[in-house]
Amino acid sequence: MKNVQSKVGRRIRDIRVSQGIPQGQLADMAHMTKSYMSEIEAGKKNLTLRSTAKIADCLGVTLEELFPLRRHPGVCALTRWGIL
């Protein structure tokens, strides 16, 4: 599960940086502390769906964009993420 947390956290950070949003500003927009946002981006927090949706909304992206899973026939997405 840690692998998924790291990938989602990295994806959040990449989108935030590409939009020029400081980490503290995103944390404020999502009603979270900057230290909590830092832990999310570092893959140290297991986000709830509600928190993930809140961050996606603040970044102006869909949940799907935070979980960029490509379809590969015969390969489970969870296997690609290292969960299975």
Which tokens go with 51?
């928190």
* Arithmetic mean of pLDDT, 6-31: 96
- In the chain the domains, ranked by start, together with CATH numbers, are 2-80 (1.10.260.40)
d(CA 36, CA 9): 11
- For residues 12-16, give the mean pLDDT: 97
Query: Residue 33 pLDDT > 90, yes or no?
Result: yes
Given this model, what pLDDT does residue 73 score?
A: 62
pLDDT in tens, 34-71: 999 999 999 999 999 999 999 999 999 999 898 866 66
CA distance from start to end of the chain:
9
CA 55/CA 12 separation, integer angstroms: 8
